[in-house]
Structure 1
Amino acid sequence: MKKVIFSILLVGTSLGVNAQNIFPANGGVGIGTSSPTTKLQVNEGDVTIYGLNTSRYLRFTQDNLQGGFINYDGTNNILNIGVNNVNSTDNTNDMNAISIARANGNIGIGTTTPDMKLTVKGNIHAEEVKIDLSVPAPDYVFKKEYNLRTIEDLEQYIKENSHLPEIPSAKEFEENGVLQGEMDMNLLKKIEELTLYIIQQEKKLQKLEALDAKYIELQKRLDKLEAQN
């Protein structure tokens, strides 16, 4: 009996002054506290799970049901947060919902190799998206000094390139994707240029209508003179 008590004392000493909190009455484990309110409570301290170039998991599971996990991939230096579909430590059942790459701080959703601050492999559903512009809005198109292409030049460019000027080709879209803010501004520029073309055509139409009205008036006078003769 003395040996048992002595062994308990040794364990308590090795765990520190709060060793008496390991098995409190409520079944919780307390470190730095004598009254843990959860199964494990650490007060004013950190928890370290060490491993060199290994994969470390904190798993949340249900019997024969789905669960979740937090995983640090030490080999690739990536933190993964996700879910799995069975109560298992087999990582082939894991679905990484969010991955954070240590090399650049990028966050990936549906991918463990995010190449931007946020990379999403899939669709995004949102009520609104705000984009800070890296390029100026093209209101300069309406300045007098702006050199607007002629319709003839525009037609020739389209014949030669099969796409609008300053807009990537279909092949470039497929290879490089689209930078949304930049593309929106390029499309806005084309809309503004189109507006100027419409205004030009409207002015030409008004001149033609004025000439047509003069022609009709002259024709009436001519008809009147011929009638008098």
Structure 2
Amino acid sequence: MYAQSDNYFKLTFEKKFIDGEANQVAYINFPDIVLWGYFEVTITGGYNHRLNKGILKKRFAMVRNTSNYFSDLTEVPIAFGVLADQWCIGDFDENNLRIPIYHLSSAGNEIVIQVEGLIRKKSNVDAIIANLNISDPVIVSNSKTRQYMSIIQDRVGIGTNNPQNKLELANLNHDGINLDNKFRLRTFGTSNTFILEHLADEGDLYIRSKIGPDDSGNIVMNDAGGNVLIGQTTQQNSDYRLDIDGPVRANEIKINLDGADFVFEPNYELRSLKEVEIYVKENKRLPEIASAEEMKKGANVGELSRQLLQKTEELTLYTIQQHKEIKKLNNELTELKKVIVKLN
């Protein structure tokens, strides 16, 4: 069956391959003519689609002269269903002027093949209508595998004809994804992992939020709970919302904490310096300050800052006390000098 109008043609063939045999091939044979244009080969299931439901389509943009110049581009825009697991459409063989159709399994042996195209010269369309044919299948050894391009199931490849993931972008000279509107990636389930990777010998991974003329915008992470880990994949202590394995540098860090103004309250019980001396000799640290062993496990910066502020304020009180005592001693010394002068 065929259709034709000026520079366009469509041919349909039914082909039955050998029952129970895998690794078969049949060829779509083209006449030796100038082929300038667009061709599309589509395979659908035969025998009421019972054993090979689905569709496989491959496109060819071709420039071929009888003077041996040849150039083409190909893509597989559709590949889904059982049929896509069982068949493969090969590339145009410029030496033998044919496109191979590979049968990859021993099931679903009957198919419908449609060849259509839009080419430059009407005379070439007439030649194709009259001479294009499909050979009988033969058994061959081959390493052909399934072709992928599906938005319903299996895998989608952009820039690659052999995707290894559900969606794979590769071999592109431009941005992989560039959207002008909202973009969201999600994983669902109880044990799924979402990975955002930049795998290269050099370069950086940017996460940026640009809003308005000043490029200001927030990046929100784990607003519903959970922790953020940097430089590690597990935590020794899950109490920390941000856990970093490695040094941290910042121009400014602001910590919300309570002060130590209670030290200056009238009823604050300030230890005597003698008590502090005894405590330091016994514990090798100041009172209320964690030991070195405890700090190795991690220190609360806010709490430690408050404790150090408390010690600074206590030191201020000790200094004031000593100032008063020194002033008192100076006064006593002055009076003592007066007494000595009188005695002399």
Relative to the length of structure 2, the TM-score reads 0.40
Q: Which of 262, 276, 279 is the matching residue for 1:157? A: 279
| Counterpart position of 1:2 | 11
1:17-166 equivalent positions in 2, closer than 5 A: 77-86=192-201, 105-114=226-235, 115=238, 116-133=240-257, 136-166=258-288
Q: 1:60 to 1:122 in 2, by over 3 A?
A: farther
Distance apart, 1:130 and its partner CA: 1.3
Task: State, as a whole percentage, how many aligned pairs show the same letter.
Answer: 34
Q: Does 1:220 align with 2:341?
A: yes
* One-letter amino acid of the counterpart of residue 107, structure 1: V
> In structure 2, how many angstroms separate the alpha carbons of the residues matched to 1:143 and 1:57?
66
Structure 1 Cα separation of the partners of residues 294 and 312 of structure 2? 21
Comparing 116-125 with 176-185, greater Cα deviation is found at 116-125
1:218 and 1:107 map into 2 onto residues whose CA distance is 74
Q: Which runs of 5+ in 2 are unaligned?
A: 1-9, 14-39, 46-53, 56-74, 78-150, 156-164, 173-184, 206-220
Distance 1:129 1:58 in 2: 41
Q: Which amino acid aligns with 1:83?
A: H
Q: Distance in 2 between matches of 1:156 and 1:141?
A: 21
TM-superposed deviation, 1:126 = 1.2
Deviation at 1:85, TM superposition (A): 4.0
Between the two proteins, the alignment pairs up a number of residues equal to 167
Counterpart-to-counterpart distance in 1, 2:290 and 2:231: 27
CA RMSD of aligned residues (A): 4.4
Higher relative contact order (CA 8 A, sep 6+): 2
Tell me, in whole angstroms, the C-alpha distance in 2 between the residues paired with 1:203 and 1:179.
36
User: 1:138 Cα shift?
Assistant: 0.8
1:184 alignment partner AA: S
Over 3 Å counting, the alpha-carbon distance change for 1:82 and 1:48 in structure 2 is: farther
In terms of fraction of residues, the more helix-rich structure is 1
User: SS state of the match for residue 81, structure 1?
Assistant: coil
Of residues 327, 333, 337 in structure 2, which corresponds to 1:206? Answer: 327
Q: 1:7 to 1:59 in 2, by over 3 A?
A: closer
- Structure 2 vs 1, CA of residues 9 and 149 (structure 1 numbering), >3 Å: closer, same or farther? same
Distance 1:7 1:60, change over 3 A: closer
Q: Distance in 2 between matches of 1:152 and 1:58?
A: 72
Aligned to 2:217: none
**Pair 1:204–1:124, CA change in 2 (3 A):** same
Q: Is the 8 A contact 2:229 2:243 kept in 1?
A: yes
TM-score for both structures, normalised by structure 1: 0.58
SS of the residue corresponding to residue 12 of structure 2 reads helix
Offset of residue 207 of structure 1: 0.4
> Secondary structure at the residue paired with 2:198?
strand
Distance in 2, Cα, partners of 1:191 & 1:183: 12
The answer to whether the Cα contact below 8 Å between 2:154 and 2:166 also exists between their aligned partners in 1 is no
Q: AA paired with 1:217?
A: K
The whole-number CA distance in structure 1 between the counterparts of 2:295 and 2:154 is 45
Q: Which residue of 1 aligns with 2:305?
A: 184
Q: What is the match of residue 24 of structure 1?
A: none
| Counterparts in 2 of 1:144 and 1:185: CA distance versus 1, 3 Å | same
Q: Does residue 172 in structure 1 map to residue 287 in structure 2?
A: no
Q: Tell me how far 1:2 sits from its aligned partner.
A: 3.5
The 3-state SS of whatever aligns with 2:194 is strand
Greater strand proportion: 2
Unaligned runs of 5+ in 1: 16-26, 30-46, 64-69, 88-94, 224-229
CA separation of 1:197 and 1:108: change in aligned 2, threshold 3 A? same
